[in-house]
Chains A and B, each alone.
Chain A
Amino acid sequence: MSEEVKLHGAWASPLSYRVIWALKLKGIAYEYVEEDLSNKSALLLHYNPIHKKIPVLVHTGKPICESMIIIEYIEEMWPHTPLLPTDPYDRAISRFWIKFVEDKALPILGRMFNTMGGELEKAIKESLEILEIVEEHGLEDNKYFNGETIGMVDIAFGSILYWLGVNEEVLGVKLLEPHKFPRLHEWFQSFQEVPVIKENLPDRDNVVAFFKRRRETLEATAA
Chain B
Amino acid sequence: MEEVKLHGFWASPFSHKVIWALKLKGVEYEYIEEDITNKSELLLKYNPVYKKIPILVHGGKPIAESTVILEYIEETWPQNPLLPTDAYQKAIARFWIQFGAYEPYFRKFFHASGEEQEKAAKEIFGMLKILEEQGLGDKKFFGGDSINLVDIAHGWLPLWFGSIEEAVGVKVMESTTLPRLHAWIQNFMEVDVIKENLPDREKVLVHVKKVREKFVANHSN
Contacts and interface: CB of A to CB of B under 8 A. Distances in A.
Given A59-B88, A72-B90, A92-B68, 13 more contacts: A50-B134, A66-B95, A72-B91, A73-B87, A73-B90, A89-B61, A92-B69, A92-B71, A95-B71, A96-B63, A96-B65, A99-B65, A137-B49
Interface in B51-71: 58, 61, 63-65, 67-69, 71
Given A73-B90, A103-B102, A137-B48, A89 B95 contact: no
B123 to A, nearest CB: 14
A193 interface: no
Contacts of B48: 137
B75 interface: yes
A124 B130 CA distance: 35
B91 A69 contact: yes
Contacts, number: 61
Interface residues of B, number: 26
B80 interface: no
A89 B58 contact: yes
B67 to A, nearest CB: 7
20 contacts: A59-B88, A66-B95, A66-B98, A69-B94, A69-B98, A70-B91, A72-B90, A73-B91, A89-B61, A89-B63, A92-B72, A95-B65, A95-B67, A95-B68, A96-B63, A96-B68, A99-B65, A103-B102, A133-B49, A137-B48
A66 B99 CA distance: 10
Interface string A62-87: 10111001101100110000000000
B76 interface: yes
Contacts of B69: 92
Q: Give the interface SS of chain B, mostly helix, strand, loop or mixed.
A: helix
Q: Give the interface SS of chain A, mostly helix, strand, loop or mixed.
A: helix
Interface residues of A, number: 24
A93 B75 CA distance: 13
B102 to A, nearest CB: 7
Contact of A69 (B75, B95, B102): B95
A145 B49 CA distance: 16
A93 B63 CA distance: 7
Contacts of A99: 65, 67-68
Interface string A100-124: 1001000000000000000000000
A172 interface: no
Nearest to B63: A92
Nearest to B88: A62
Interface in A152-198: none
B87 A50 contact: no
Nearest to B76: A88
A88 B68 CA distance: 11
Given A69-B98, A100-B49, A64 B91 contact: yes
The residue in B88, B90, B91, B102 that gathers the most chain A C-beta atoms within 10 A of its C-beta is B91
A73 B91 CA distance: 6
A214 interface: no
Interface string B97-136: 0110010000000000000000000000000001000100
Interface string B79-93: 000000001101110
A89 B62 CA distance: 9
A91 interface: yes
Contacts of B95: 64-66, 69
B64 A96 contact: yes
Interface in A17-61: 50, 59
A88 B134 CA distance: 31
A106 B91 CA distance: 21
Nearest to B56: A92
A47 B88 CA distance: 14
A91 B75 contact: yes
A82 B71 CA distance: 18
